[in-house]
Amino acid sequence: MENRIRGITALLLVWTLLIGAGCGNTAGRGNESTETGGTTQAVTEAATDAGKDNLTVLPPEPDTGSESGSQGGDSTGTGETETTAEMVKVYTLPIYTLNVETLEPEAVSVLIQATEITPELIVDKVIETLEDQGYTIEVESVTTQEDAVVVSFYKDQPPVTFGSSAEGAVLDVFAQSLVDNLEDYSKVIYRMEGEAYASGHFEFGINQVYLEDTRRNTK
């Protein structure tokens, strides 16, 4: 009987040791899993940090849809263009040229783009129409004096060197074109290089009025 009890006790002791060993292995595997999990987490974090370091961050694109982005740059330019477009107008300018057959002034109309009609502009357009007819005229200066436009020619160039008929017709062409298109100037005075006009056919005092529009009030 005593031997049987010892045998049972030995079996229980062996059983207890076996159970204890199994629990120890289980705990070891649990620790190993925890350590492995910790290592994996650390590697993941390191990889994430490395990815952040190599990431190229692009700057935000400009907001072209906003008013300040899309209109701020060219609004000034657009404004200037609109202002200029408002100032420049298209005019139908009635002036005179020289009829090459009759040697008399002939009415014509030209289209021009300008901000305003000036004496210089009218004289330039008359010169162009005369060139179209084969007459080259050079004007020394165009100035104003009170209510008169003063046109000065060169001494040795047309119309001074023309015959009397052509010279008189050219003077009429300029004078009539000026008084018909200028509200502020109703008179035309001719000079020769700033002095009194004197050719082989015509002589005028330095302030002598060649043509005056008497149909309107003068200053």
Segment 43-68, tens digit of pLDDT: 334 333 444 444 344 445 555 454 44
Determine the Cα–Cα distance for residues 103 and 79; give it in Å rounded to an integer. 49
Q: How many residues does the chain have?
A: 219
Return the pLDDT at 215.
80
**pTM listed for this prediction:** 0.61
Q: Give the pLDDT confidence score for residue 6 in this predicted structure.
A: 61
Judge whether 209 and 169 are in contact, CB under 8 Å. Answer: no
pLDDT computed for residue 188 by the predictor? 98
Measured N-to-C along each axis, helices 119-132 and 164-181 cross at an angle, to the nearest 10 degrees, of 140
Instruction: Write out residues in the chain with pLDDT < 70, as ranges.
Output: 1-86, 216-219
d(CA 54, CA 45): 15
Q: What's the rounded Cα separation, in Å, for the pair 40 and 23? A: 26
Could you report the per-residue pLDDT of 104-115, keeping only the tens digit for each?
999 999 999 999
pLDDT score recorded for residue 55: 39
Residue 201, phi then psi, degrees to nearest 5:
-120, -30
